[in-house]
Chains A and B, each alone.
Chain A
Amino acid sequence: MITVKDLTMRFGDVTVLNGISEQIEKGEKVVIIGPSGSGKSTFLRCLNLTEKPTAGSIVFDGQELTGLHDRELNLIRRRMGMVFQHFNLFPHLTIRRNITLAPVKLGILTKEQADDRASELLKRVGLADKADAYPAQLSGGQKQRIAIARSLAMNPEVMLFDEPTSALDPEMVGEVLELMKQLAEDGMTMVVVTHEMGFAREVASRILFMADGKIMEQNSPAEFFSNPKSPRLKDFLSKVL
Chain B
Amino acid sequence: MGFLESFRQNFIEENRWQYLTDGLKTTLIITFFAVIIGMLLGFLVAIIRSTHLRTGKLLIPDLICRLYLTVIRGTPVVVQLLIIYFVIFASVPISKTFVAVIAFGINSGAYVAEIVRGGIMAVDIGQLEAGRSLGLNYRQTMISVIMPQALKTVLPALANEAIVLLKETSVAGYIAIADLTKGGDIIRSQTFSAFMPLIAVAVIYLVMVVLLTKLVNLLERRLASNDHR
Interface residues of A (CB under 8 A from B): 48, 50, 70-71, 74-75, 77-78, 80-82, 84, 86, 88-92, 101-102, 105-106, 134-137, 147, 150-151, 154
Contacts of A102 in B (CB 8 A): 131, 134-136
Interface residues of B (CB under 8 A from A): 124, 126-127, 129-138, 140, 144-145, 148-149, 152, 227-229
B136 and A88 form a contact (CB under 8 A): no
Which of A81, A91, A137 gathers most chain B CB within 10 Å? A91
B27 smallest CB distance to A (angstroms): 36
A92 and B152 form a contact (CB under 8 A): yes
Q: How far is the CA of A137 from the CA of B226 in the complex (A)?
A: 12
B134 and A88 form a contact (CB under 8 A): no
Q: Is the interface of B mostly helix, strand, loop or mixed?
A: helix
A15 smallest CB distance to B (angstroms): 21
Please give me the residue from chain B that is nearest to A85 by CB atom: B126
A150 and B134 form a contact (CB under 8 A): yes
A58 smallest CB distance to B (angstroms): 15
A154 and B134 form a contact (CB under 8 A): yes
A101 and B124 form a contact (CB under 8 A): no
B126 and A84 form a contact (CB under 8 A): yes
A75 and B228 form a contact (CB under 8 A): no
B136 and A106 form a contact (CB under 8 A): yes
Q: How far is the CA of A2 from the CA of B36 in the complex (A)?
A: 50
Contacts of A150 in B (CB 8 A): 134
A105 and B144 form a contact (CB under 8 A): yes
Q: How far is the CA of A91 from the CA of B217 in the complex (A)?
A: 23
B140 smallest CB distance to A (angstroms): 5
A70 and B138 form a contact (CB under 8 A): yes
B133 and A82 form a contact (CB under 8 A): yes
B191 smallest CB distance to A (angstroms): 56
Known: A92-B148, A92-B152, A105-B140. A48 touches B127 (CB 8 A): no
A74 and B133 form a contact (CB under 8 A): no
Q: How far is the CA of A74 from the CA of B228 in the complex (A)?
A: 29
Given contacts A86-B124, A106-B136, list 12 more A-B pairs with CB under 8 A. A74-B135, A88-B124, A88-B126, A90-B127, A90-B130, A90-B131, A101-B136, A102-B134, A102-B135, A105-B144, A106-B140, A134-B228
A135 and B228 form a contact (CB under 8 A): yes
Q: How far is the CA of A134 from the CA of B226 in the complex (A)?
A: 11
Please give me the residue from chain A that is nearest to B125 by CB atom: A88
Contacts of A74 in B (CB 8 A): 132, 135-137
Q: How far is the CA of A101 from the CA of B134 in the complex (A)?
A: 9
Contacts of B126 in A (CB 8 A): 84, 86, 88
Tell me which of B129, B137, B152 contacts A84 (CB under 8 A). B129
> What are 20 A-B interface contacts by the 8 Å CB criterion?
A48-B133, A50-B129, A50-B133, A70-B137, A74-B132, A74-B135, A74-B136, A77-B133, A77-B134, A78-B134, A78-B135, A84-B126, A91-B149, A102-B131, A105-B144, A134-B228, A135-B228, A147-B130, A151-B134, A154-B134
Contacts of B138 in A (CB 8 A): 70
A74 smallest CB distance to B (angstroms): 5
Tell me which of B124, B130, B133, B136 contacts A105 (CB under 8 A). B136
